[in-house]
């Protein structure tokens, strides 16, 4: 049963894009992945409008005072099993904003993170590679 | 009808903070009567990272990298305005070659930003073909950026006194060819927007800002140029190479969403012209002369401006003779443009609200560097309780060793 669930989860992934407090760049590279040059929709990966339809949550930016609790709330609404992918150095560890007074704590201390894709911003190729590695790891 | 009775008849539609309309979190409250929007409340603050305060703890060269991360789309505009401000402070004259390279980066950014907007506008209209096409033709622009700077976004090219990386004369022909290839798709977009009946029906006469309203609300950039006000920092207060090449300011008269799209498309063609002019200029200057080699920054004040894709971005830097700014103030164009939604969206229908909200090309990443307090409802977005919690959390973090004091 668990194997079947994993198979279904990793077959055609609906991703929800949750921006914590980004500079927008990772967000745009995520959209770039969906547009003609990289076009991950041919692998069944689509952007969904609501977290309740999502299998994966792409988080960008640092969790700040206003978004930290919202991101936790959004994670709780995600149907399980689901994965969280931290895109960009900000989501992975805070980048240069870790010294900011509005930085709460690293994302992985708020919600469990399955995959880290560092770089500022990660190339679309890097995002695709991250997702592929995650799928391989989940399938075991 | 009293105020209370009026309130009872309206329905409030909350949009956000996480919604598919835009990438960044922000919260709109549409007050509607039936289909008609009568009031709009915008709540911001989801994107506040405290950049101005952080700038005061970094030295002048580091701040250029920090302000680059104010916004990913305007990642050349902010450092551009910042270096202008510091050079104004310290009276630095930069070499011509650096001026040309700066202008090229600034215009490449405008190209990719306007194409991005065009794509998103198509997406909001439910016209996903435009979205896919615009983003497809945006890729070659990013390729040029990658070729010149080494990165697709966050170019790290700006430096006080010049630029960090030279464009080799041998590369100019290749970049020229890539620019030539952009013109055909841009012309295609111009034709597609001008002739398409669907786009006409959805955007003509929608979200109109009159010339007077645009002036009253102090709007900037393509938003105001679409309402017939010809302001452009590149022409009005020339910096970098903008007075050394031939180009013109694009102005249209109607102020609706269609005109805002038209202004942006025509501006892209101008940008290609500016880039080509700058490449011509590069050939006349000597390779390698890209840095004025600044040693120290004196005490004083400086202002710097740049016409970002969304309008004028303004930086103020005060130095006290040390190696870090004593005060750094940023004003991004969306800060002026976003409130105009209150007039352009009101009176329209809910279905038009999305494109009208998007028409100013709002960028909340740029705007949210200061804590916002809504004076009308007296609702503090960062309340006293939050501050206490923040303080307690920090203490906890210090104790557990997660966060180390500077």
CA angle B33, B219, B362 (to 5 degrees): 65
Q: What are phi and psi of B329, to 5 degrees?
A: -120, 135
Name the residue facing A64 among B49, B70, B135 (closest C-beta): B49
Both tokens of B374, joined, read: 């809504």
- Between helix B96-124 and helix B128-149 the angle, nearest 10°, is 160
Residues B313, B305 contacting (CB under 8 angstroms): yes
What's the CA gap between A64 and A45, in Å, rounded?
Answer: 29
Q: What are phi and psi of B292, to 5 degrees?
A: -85, 0
- Complete DSSP assignment for B202-218: HHTTSS---HHHHHHTT
Strand partners, B29: B14, B41
Residues A54, A16 contacting (CB under 8 angstroms): yes
pLDDT for residue B22? 58
Q: Distance (Å) from the C-alpha of residue B280 to the closest C-alpha of chain A?
A: 31
Which of A17, A21, A23 should one mutate to test binding to chain B, selecting the residue with the greatest count of B CBs within 10 A? A23
Q: Does B81 touch chain A (CB under 8 A)?
A: no
Which of A14, A24, A124 should one mutate to test binding to chain B, selecting the residue with the greatest count of B CBs within 10 A? A24
Q: Does B73 touch chain A (CB under 8 A)?
A: yes
Beta strands in B211-359 (DSSP E): 300-308, 311-319, 325-331
Between B110 and B193, where is the model more confident? B110
CA angle B166, B172, B174 (to 5 degrees): 125
pLDDT for residue B99? 93
Task: Give me the sheet containing B11-15, strands edge to edge.
Answer: B11-15, B27-33, B36-43
Query: pLDDT per residue over B123-169, tens digit each?
Result: 777 777 888 888 899 999 999 999 899 888 888 899 999 999 899 88
- Complete DSSP assignment for B93-132: ---HHHHHHHHHHHHHHHHHHHHHHHHHHHHHTT-HHHHH
Residue of B165, B157, B153, B168 whose CA lies nearest to B83: B157
Residue B405 has pLDDT above 50, yes or no: no
B-proximal residues of A, 89-118, CB under 8 Å: 95-105, 109
Average model confidence (pLDDT) for chain B? Answer: 81
- Complete DSSP assignment for B284-299: HSPTT--B-------S
Both tokens of B61, joined, read: 């060269």
pLDDT for residue A87? 92
Both tokens of A93, joined, read: 């560890």
Residues ≥6 apart with Cβ < 8 Å to B35: B349, B350, B351
CATH of B51-342, one of 3.40.50.300, 1.10.645.10, 3.40.50.10420, 3.40.640.10: 1.10.645.10
CB atoms within 10 A of CB B244: 16
In this complex, do A65 and B48 lie within 8 Å of one another by their Cβ atoms?
A: yes
Query: pLDDT per residue over B240-295, tens digit each?
Result: 899 999 999 999 998 888 898 899 999 999 999 999 999 999 999 988 888 888 88
Chain A and chain B share a number of CB contacts under 8 A equal to: 126
> What ipTM was predicted for this assembly?
0.88
Query: pLDDT per residue over B299-354, tens digit each?
Result: 999 999 999 998 899 999 999 989 999 999 998 888 788 778 777 777 776 667 66
Q: What are phi and psi of B44, to 5 degrees?
A: -115, -170
pLDDT for residue B75? 86
Output the 3-class SS for chain A. CHHHHHHHHHHCCEEEEEEEECCCHHHHHHHHHHCCCCCHHHHCCEECCCHHHCCEEEEEECCECCCHHHHHHHHHHCCCCCEEEEECHHHHHCHHHHHCCCECCCHHHCCCCCEEECCCCCCHHHHHHHHHHHHHHHHC
CA angle B262, B264, B265 (to 5 degrees): 65
Which positions of chain A have pLDDT values less than 70? Answer: none
Both tokens of A6, joined, read: 């994993």
Query: pLDDT per residue over B164-209, tens digit each?
Result: 989 988 889 999 999 999 999 999 988 888 888 878 877 888 888 8
Query: pLDDT per residue over B59-85, tens digit each?
Result: 899 999 999 888 888 889 999 999 999
Q: For residue B27, what is the enclosing H or E element?
A: strand B27-33
Residues B393, A104 contacting (CB under 8 angstroms): yes
What's the CA gap between A21 and A70, in Å, rounded?
Answer: 11
Both tokens of A33, joined, read: 């992945």
In this complex, do B46 and A104 lie within 8 Å of one another by their Cβ atoms?
A: no
The full set of domains in chain A, from first to last, is 12-139 (3.40.50.12280)
What's the CA gap between B30 and B40, in Å, rounded?
Answer: 5
Name the residue facing A67 among B46, B386, B403 (closest C-beta): B46
B-proximal residues of A, 46-65, CB under 8 Å: 47, 49, 51, 61-62, 64-65
User: Where do the structural domains in chain B lie, given as residue ranges?
Assistant: 51-342
Query: pLDDT per residue over B358-400, tens digit each?
Result: 766 666 655 554 433 333 333 333 333 443 344 445 445 544 5
Half-sphere exposure of A68 (CA within 13 A, CB side): 21
pTM: 0.86
What's the CA gap between A95 and B70, in Å, rounded?
Answer: 13
What's the CA gap between B36 and B399, in Å, rounded?
Answer: 54
Strand partners, A117: A87
């Amino acid at each position: 049963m668990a194997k079947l669930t994993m198979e279904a989860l990793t077959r055609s992934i609906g991703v929800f894009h949750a921006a914590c407090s980004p500079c927008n760049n990772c967000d745009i590279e995520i959209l770039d992945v969906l547009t003609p040059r990289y076009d991950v929709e041919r692998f069944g990966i689509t952007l969904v409008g609501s977290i309740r339809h999502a299998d994966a949550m792409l988080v960008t930016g640092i969790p700040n005072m206003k978004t930290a609790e919202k991101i936790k709330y959004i994670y709780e609404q995600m149907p399980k099993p689901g994965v969280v992918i931290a895109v960009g150095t900000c989501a992975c560890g805070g980048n240069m904003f870790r010294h900011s007074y509005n930085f709460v704590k690293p994302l992985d201390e708020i919600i469990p993170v399955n995959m880290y894709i560092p770089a500022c911003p990660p190339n679309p190729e890097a995002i695709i590679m991250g997702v592929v590695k995650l799928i391989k790891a989940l399938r075991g | 009808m009293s105020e209370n009775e009026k309130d009872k008849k309206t329905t409030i539609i909350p949009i956000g903070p996480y919604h598919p309309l835009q990438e960044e979190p922000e919260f709109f409250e549409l007050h509607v009567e039936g289909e008609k929007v009568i009031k709009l409340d915008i709540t911001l603050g989801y994107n506040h990272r405290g950049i101005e305060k952080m700038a005061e703890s970094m030295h002048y060269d580091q701040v250029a990298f920090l302000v680059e991360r104010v916004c990913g789309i305007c990642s050349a505009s902010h450092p551009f305005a910042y270096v202008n401000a510091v050079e104004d402070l310290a009276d630095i004259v930069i070499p011509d070659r650096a001026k040309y390279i700066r202008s090229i980066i600034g215009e490449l950014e405008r190209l990719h930003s306007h194409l991005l907007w065009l794509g998103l506008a198509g997406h909001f209209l439910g016209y996903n073909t435009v979205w896919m096409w615009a983003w497809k033709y945006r890729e070659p622009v990013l390729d040029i950026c990658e070729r010149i700077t080494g990165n697709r976004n966050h170019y790290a090219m700006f430096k006080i006194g010049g630029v960090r990386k030279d464009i080799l004369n041998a590369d100019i022909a290749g970049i020229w060819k890539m620019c030539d290839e952009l013109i055909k798709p841009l012309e295609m977009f111009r034709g597609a927007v001008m002739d398409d009946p669907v786009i006409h029906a959805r955007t003509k006469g929608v979200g109109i800002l009159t010339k007077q309203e645009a002036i009253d609300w102090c709007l900037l950039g393509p938003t105001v140029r679409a309402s017939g006000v010809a302001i452009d920092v590149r022409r009005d207060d020339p910096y970098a190479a903008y007075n050394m090449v031939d180009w013109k300011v694009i102005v249209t008269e109607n102020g609706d969403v269609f005109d805002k799209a038209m202004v942006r498309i025509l501006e892209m063609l101008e940008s290609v012209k500016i880039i080509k002019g700058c490449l011509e200029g590069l050939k006349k200057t000597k390779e390698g002369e890209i840095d004025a080699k600044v040693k120290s920054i004196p005490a004083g004040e400086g202002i710097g401006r740049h016409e970002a894709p969304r309008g004028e971005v303004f930086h103020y830097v005060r130095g006290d003779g040390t190696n870090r700014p004593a005060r750094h103030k940023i004003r991004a164009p969306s800060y002026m443009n976003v409130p105009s939604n209150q007039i352009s969206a009101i009176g329209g229908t809910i279905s038009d609200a999305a494109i009208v909200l998007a028409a100013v090309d709002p960028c909340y990443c740029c705007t949210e560097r200061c804590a916002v307090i809504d004076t009308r409802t007296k609702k503090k977005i960062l309340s006293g309780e939050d501050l206490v919690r923040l303080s307690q959390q920090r203490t906890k973090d210090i104790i557990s060793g997660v966060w180390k004091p500077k």
